Structure 1
Amino acid sequence: MNYKELFPDWLADSKIYYATLINLSGDILYANEHFIRNFTPSGHENPKNSPFHILVHPSDRSQFIKAVQKCTHDPKTAVQFRKQYDPTHPDRWTDWELTQCKDEKGSLLGIIQVGHDLKEAKASEEKAKIETETLFRSTFEQAAAGIVHYYPSGTWIRSNKQFQELLGYSEEELKHLSFKDITHPEDYYLSENYQHELVEGTIDKYSIEKRFIRKNGNYFWGLAHVSAVHDEKNQFDYLVMVIQDLSGIKTIETRLKESEDKFEKAFFTNPAFMLISDINSGKMIEANSAWTEIFGYTLEETIGKTAIELGIISEKLRNELYDIIRKDKKVTNIELTISDKFGLPKVILYSSELFTYKDDDYVLTTGIDITERRQLQEELLSEKQRLQNILEGANVGAWEWNLTTGETLFDERWAAMLGYKLEELGEAGFNTLEKFTFEEDLERINRIIEKHIAGEIPYYEAEFRVKHKLGHTVWVLDRGKITKWSEDRKPLLMSGTQQDISDRKRYEASLIKNEIRLRTILETILDAVLIIDQKGTIQKCNLATEKTFGYHESELIGQNVNILMPEPDHSQHDQYLDSYRLTGVKRIIGYGRQITGKRKNGELFPADLAVTEWEFSGQTYFTGTIRDITNKIKVEEQLKQSQKLEALGQISGGIAHDFNNILTIVSGNLELIERKMNGAEHGMVKQIANAQKAVERGALLTQKLLAFARKQPLTPGIFEINQVLWNMSEILERVLGKHIDIKFKLNEEPLYVYLDKNDLENSILNLAINARDAMENSGNLIIITDKVSRNILPELQNSEGIADSFVEIAVIDTGRGIPPENISKIYEPFFTTKEAGRGTGLGLSTIYSFVKHFGGQIKVYSEVDVGTCFKLYLPLTVKSDKKEEPEAEETIQESGVPKKYKGKVLLVDDEVNILDIAKELLDDLGFQTVTATSAQEALEVLSIRKMDLLISDIMMPGKVDGLGLAEIVKVEYPNIKIILTSGFPGDLRKREYTDLSNFNFLNKPYKSKELEELIKQVMGK
């Protein structure tokens, strides 16, 4: 590329201007002839591809390199430097303008430099600078006052001889000391706040009286005038202190006598202007050279004149100052704006002190011109205020950390975040931040700061917690960056901001909490939940989805949701989504419906589906909730079946009730006939006995009906198990039929158990029926009883109760057996493998409940095509020692009816025939019997007649049934004994027989002997 084309012809061929192009590495890509002649050693050698900086004077190279680096960021910059090869003009300076050069794509190609010679201008400037520096050195070294330049940390930069003499240290000794070493301990912190304000630019200067310690250990009082020095960029550089020995001022007369020369030297060479005036006339009698330099008046123009006459201050101001001086003997560090000889305003740091010399009063005035400093401070203050307004508007605090001294400066906003005023924080340092920061956050903060200082990250940024003055926690976002480096690239100063982000943290915590809550709900909900996009792609699913469909989440994410659907939904789902996007017509969204789902293994199942639509970041999503309703449908079917059985049970119970009433009438009449027969009718006894057996068979039939309906009351008692089973042999033979052989192998030892005999008989009967069906009407059924220890089965060891021994009832058949996969399901309600109409699925579940209720266990052993063995384990109990009372000898009267009892009986039943029979039986027993057909009628009888015994049927019409009547009588007539009877207690099972258990109960149909036995038990002999 021809780089010359980048320059206009007049510049490329100029003999006045230098023109060059350098790349970003500083190498020369192009230089015009004028540059080659004046910058290269030979004057004609082309410097192309050579580093530009080697042609720059060594003293100015760093300044040139900084300008090039700056130009890579700023479009244009300027710099001045001297040539390296210019023997005729070694001090000639050149002025350059640097501009970015970009290619056609806008990328930075290099930097164009255009410069020219400054000639005498720069030389004159340098000469003036050297002269100024020489003058400063002369003034500094020859000043009568102690002057020291130092950093805020107390480290010395330089000190003059007067300062060294004042303290008694050499300059070398002072290098190893700090201000703390030469200041009285009680006075060291007096200037701390002033110094901070001076460094921050909030004040221009300050003066303070304090004690200083000399090398010999003695101390003296001194007046220290301290001001700040700024560099060329108006940045704080260091501090200047001028120390006046106040002991000398207070004894000025003595010192004048002892050393006139020394006083004159301190007076006339002081960088601050000094005046001696007569306090009465106001005339100035002496002034030093600093006065002339600052105000432009010569000594001749000054001596003998007043400040009013020179036009420096007004008479009013002069009088006010003198009044203060007369009263307080001095004025210290007052800023006055006064005019110089040429009318220009000067800002003076003014101090005056009254002293007496030869009986006359004089005023020694000292002043420091701080005009330039004040201007700089005002500019800095304005800039600081502008920055402060920005920070306040953004609710941001600022800080600055001196990495060398550890001193840290904070602004008011920073302190306000913690609930403090800045002055409340006291001396600031990095430990100030640590004091308020949570300890568990400090290690992380320090680690990030260390990474930034090491250059591993471009800036420091951390979020952490601080403690508010009121005790609550404040979250802050802290950002910072190294802003000042030493020449050897050591970090010196770090600046940053701090912002209160507590609200944001609360919002984030709320969002996280809501997200966790939502995730917890999704992961614990039993329904499958999926989120899909507009194309049907699965974006998210919960744990229940995996359990419902058998897929792992990773197998579903990114897949089309139709993999969870059977045909035809699998093929049609995408078409439905497309149609919805085009028409907006909803078929499922917002409505829900029952669908068929497809598991990973191909199994289909019914499910309820609900779909909602929502948007996020401009995208539409759908959330589907899928509930597997397999069990719900199964339960619904079971409920229908149970309701049918309940209805059938109610019918059976009703039939049993009516039938029992009929049997009671028949049985009662047969007994009455038998009692009234004489010897001639003895031939009818056999027929009556046969009729009574028929009644008993009818009663047994109704018991079976009630057992089927599960309506009979629980009547637990102690029974001998072998006898119960043997008594069932007849009914078992009838149930099993002629083609199945039944065998009993009963233990010879009596085995007593406490249980409901009806439930036990029903359980054995159910097992026999199941065995019959399994053997298809041909085979063997064996019933075995045995006594076993509770240690025979782990389940018995953990069984409730204290029984050590159990009865084992084994029911064994030679049927087809139970498949292994069905063993775990056989006790579930409604589970059956029988064909429709042959089984309810309630038999084994009823047996299981019965056995568990009385503290036992049930086990099954089965082998397909071999047979099945059910074993029932019931806790053994001890036979009751209660002996039956011997029946009283019957006294046969002439009529043949025993008369053994006395008392009044109220007999209640809605069946008139039963009332008549029962009344006659009771009358024959010697009772006076009154009858009633309802509870209301019975209560009316009781209200007018005294009764000893109430015998009432339970199921009667009206608002109050027999049980209700019994409860009323028990409360209002506590002396009346009560017996309840029923052929079907109806809904008593729903009340768990709690009320019935409080009364004596007699099942219908009953015989006179059963009635008499119960009356004897209730009434006593």
Structure 2
Amino acid sequence: MTDGFSINEMKASFDTLFNTIEDYLFIINENGKVVHANKAVIKKLGYSQEVLEGMSLLLLHPPERRDEAAEIFASMMAGERDHCPIPLYTKEGSYIAVETSVVRGQWQGIPVFFAISKDISQISQANARFSKAFSINPALTAISKIDSGKYIDVNEAFLSRLEYNRDEVIGKTSGELGIIPFAERDLLIKELYQQGCIRDKELTLITKNGSELHVIFSVDSIETDDQTYLLTVMVDITGRKRAEELLKESEERWSSALECSGDGLWDWDATTNRVFFSKEWKSMLGCKEHEIGDSLQEWESRIHPEDWEYIQVELQKHFEGETPVYQTEHRMLARDGSYKWILDRGKVIKRDEEGQVLRVIGTHTDITEIKKVQENLSRTRGQLKAILDNLPFLAWFKDKEGHHIEINRFFEISCGLTRDEIIGKTDLDIWPREFALGYMEDDREVMASRKQINKEERVPDKAGGIWFSTFKTPVFDQEGNVIGTAGITRDITESSRLEHELIEQRSFLKSLIDAIPDLIFYKDINGVYLGCNHAFAHKYIGLAEEEIVDRTDLDFVKDKEIARFFMQKDREMLLSGKNQMNEETVTLADGSIMELETVKTPFYKGGTVAGLIGVSRDITKRKIAQNQLLIKEKILSNIAAATNELLINSDYYEAINICLALLGEATGVDRVYMFKNHYEDNKGYTSYRMEWNSGIFPAQINNPKLQNIPFDKAQNFMEPLMQNEAVKAQVRD
């Protein structure tokens, strides 16, 4: 068996193969002894040619696998398998990983087996070479007995294309398998006997599954093992047959597709300068089919002058083989005098022996609307870039992998790099690693959550910033898929400092207000408390400040009518826009009474009244002092009147009674009375003689208990009086 090659061909090429093939080649006799080996075997296994000759092939395999090797080689010699995976065993006892194939043949006139062991380290290259050789060899090859027609061997192409496995084919005829009908086979054998061979005959085979396989059929006789066999070679032309059919269908579809797509076809014969322009090509420019001829000038005359040189350069590049296809975008004059943008594509499909262009085919696509969109997009991008570059903070866009695809000028300044050094780079290429890792983690969070984030961080940069506020948002495509992130970063160093100072000032102001004993509060235009000081919250309301904010007087004043009255007065004051001062008596949180003087004034926001500020001062002591002053003045006036009464009234007792009444009314007391002292037996007594009362209590003038009271029983009362001192005490009736 020669697997499709004649013995003469094998002999002719054998010496060359042995000198060039790097695989390990053995010639083995039918007893399994080495007859000959190539130089690769001698070099790698470490044996000389003399030692190898006569050595059993099994000894060149590891001792522990020689029985397995014997079984495998027996199967291979019987045609039951095609390779052996057992490694070779060198003289030094090392292993060489190989795959060994065995084929039958003749050497110097004797039947032998050719064993080819391929080094697995080079197996990928060998497989590539084998796959390429197999793929370009379309022949189905079979060896059959000439008398019975039974197959004794077939190649893989035969099995795969006819959809059989080896066991189903070997020992069967084409007639039994139904591959070639008996009648057809008899005619072929007759032709073979008459002519000695069959050459390039078209034949239709039937596969195992009943499908047709078209082949070019050739048969010749070969001799091997002193027997004559038929070598059948069949080149599969089913693909060609099908391709011819498909080509016709493709041409029809292509023609229909061009018509439906609106693309115009042009076909230029460079030898005559005649051009075929399709109906769509002409209508694209607004022309009817008869209005454009077939000269090259029809195309050249319509090219925009500014595009001509560019087109010629691109054409020449393609003609000289620098580009696989010719492609340009240029303007062409339409019938109405306007210019249309055309995507012009073409390819040289034929050259002469010297490489000169003979024929070029191409298409025209109207891209006028696309160009308008591109111009608008370019304009929008330019505007966006201008906006970005004039922003006083960092701005950027990144793709999903974190590469910067757009930045603004402030970004360049901040990181100290140019735009070209930033675009396409990640944060790790731009910022210090400890910062970059954090930025990348933020990007992953934004894309995973599909939500925006805003954070403040302290990051020194080359522009001098310290505190930054960063806003990041995911970017979506039209289908809602996240395709990257966008962000801005503002230097808030100065604003943070001002904010800190503002917080400190507010804290100081709050402390100052809380230290003031006056009641201080402020409300919005609806009477809702915006804040207050400690005294107002705890002394007046009896709650913490946070419990007062966002509430009104209706929530604190028990008498709702009074609460509404207060709120109405507040509204009137806000409408007038003028300060208001009033005195009021209030009940504090502990139940005590306080006299207050309250001043309310409006405050403004943006030139509009936004609310009021109130300050209430405790004037209780002042009110008491004022009352006492009034009492003193009245007392003095009444004393003057009483004195006058005593001087002008001849009735002593009546004058005294009038004086007592004047004193009682002046002082606001409930009772004014007079005791008279007298002495008996050197003892002092006092008696109740005259009285004025307001009427709240019954008169005591006739009370015997108040007559002749010894001084010693009223000593605590009498002694201060005897020394002209006033007495203040409680008296029980």
> Which TM-score tier does this pair reach, normalised by the shorter chain?
0.3 to 0.5
Structure-2-length-normalised TM-score:
0.32
